[in-house]
Amino acid sequence: ASPTSLQQPRLSRLPASAHGSRHMDFIDTPWPVRHASDPSDDIDLKDFIDNLGDDGDGFLDNTGARLEASAGASVAQGSPRSIFGMRASSLEELMAEAGRIAPPGGVNGAGARAAADLERVARAAGLHGLCDALAFTGLAAELPALCEAGVTVLAPSDAAWAQIEPRSRADPVLIRQVLLAHICSGVHMRSDLVAKRTAVALAGQTHAAALEGGEMHVGTARVLRADLPFDSGVIHELGSVMAVLHFAREAHEEQVWKKSLQPAPRLVVVTAAGAATTSDYELHGCLLHAATGQLLPDALRGHVRSLQPRLHQSQVQQVTFSDLCVMTKPPSLQRRRGAGLDDGANRYRLLFSLWNSSTLSYVSWQHMPTPLLIRNSFHMLPPEEKAYRRQEYARSRSGGGTARRAAAAPAPVAAPP
């Protein structure tokens, strides 16, 4: 099975939020997702690209718990009363300050009303953790702008949020990444997700959507309740936090054929208990030709990493592809000398996909924003790239290489104290 789409979000910078001095990356509009003509057929990447134009202490605030326990079965099962207590009163108070961080052009009243209605519906559905996470990370103040075009929220239940280890829940940057991987631009009902077979998050991560045994699954999570509508959007409740992929480090643009990518791409994989119970997962690197969108099989070496040890255990881990290199020879490098080289033929996109080794399918994928330009040799690199590689080589000779090789294995990320 191959990934069904290649997404490239566009980022714009916003000023600091009312919650602190952090700056926030905010996605304007992700690329659209094409419909598959037949659910049993893969969506061709080339066709997809050709038709893009078609469519503080945070959660652990020691001032005390504020939220009431979720209604229904979760209370009967003894779920924690409120692990998401915060000083902020509500999203409405935060949105009152949205004008000071609004993107150019401002936020209209419709967006503010939609954001307020999102909170109303989420609270009524018992999704208090979602509301607190939005406020904690500063995304609450961005909701009016996000809701203008409509949004789909893949909302983990309160019990699912509780499965994230406490130190990770206290990290606003990490929780922001998790949220951006659970919010999609546009309104997509359950039937839409089934038809498209994908859910494209604001962070650029694409989750596979499918019916399995009569149950709806998105990414690594099962949908508990679908189609909870609010003004300009819809909420789907998930039984777990989906696995989230985001880049801690990207490779440089210009690389050398058959040489390890420099610096080695590093991804942070966030998983929570309940994301899977029986499946083992791997992280695969995939290479696509930038001009044609063609997925190139056997084009990479060192492109597979096993996640440690099971995805259903709550953890945050880094995965470094220290020996990843491009083995396929770019078309322009196959020409005779003097025939004229076209850099466009040497450009590629790198895609990292979460592979379910039990179902033999990709369940989620994220592309590296930086494209790759493959050169024939070290001597064709620009001077600054040559200098960087010489410096790294000297560092490895002095003893840094051992530590870098050790980093290639998945390892838990040190969480804030």
Residue type, 111: G
Strand partners, 156: 238
pLDDT tens-digit map of 13-72: 222 232 332 222 222 223 222 223 333 333 343 443 333 333 333 333 322 232 223 323
The pLDDT score that the predictor gives to residue 81 is 36
The pLDDT score that the predictor gives to residue 360 is 87
* Three-state secondary structure readout of the chain: CCCCCCCCCCEEEECCCCCCCCCEEEECCCCCCCCCCCCCCCCCHHHHHHCHHHCCCHHHCCCCCCCCCCCCHHHHCCCCCCCCCCCCCCHHHHHCCHHHHCCCCCCCHHHHHHHHHHHHHHHHCCCHHHHHHHHHHCHHHHHHHHHCCCEEEEEECHHHHHCCCHHHHCCHHHHHHHHHCCEEECCCCHHHHHHHCEEEECCCCEEEEEEECCEEEECCEEEEEEEEEECCEEEEEECCCCCEEEEEECCCCEEECCCECCCCCEEEEEECCCCCCCCCEEEEEEEEECCCCCEECCCEECCEEECCCCCCCCEEEEEECCCCEECCCCHHHHCCCCCCCCHHHHEEEEEEEEEECCCCEEEEEEECCCCEEEECCHHHCCHHHHHHHHHHHHHHHHHHHHHHHHCCCCEECCCCC
Q: What percent of the chain has pLDDT over 90?
A: 50
> Against a cut of 0.85, is the pTM above it?
no
Dihedral of CA atoms 404, 407, 413, 417 in degrees, nearest 10, equals -40
Q: Once rounded to an integer, what is the mean pLDDT over residues 124-151?
A: 93
Distance CA 25, CA 15 (A): 9
For residue 110, what pLDDT band results from cuts at 50, 70 and 90?
confident
Q: What percent of the chain has pLDDT over 70?
A: 63
Residue type, 288: L
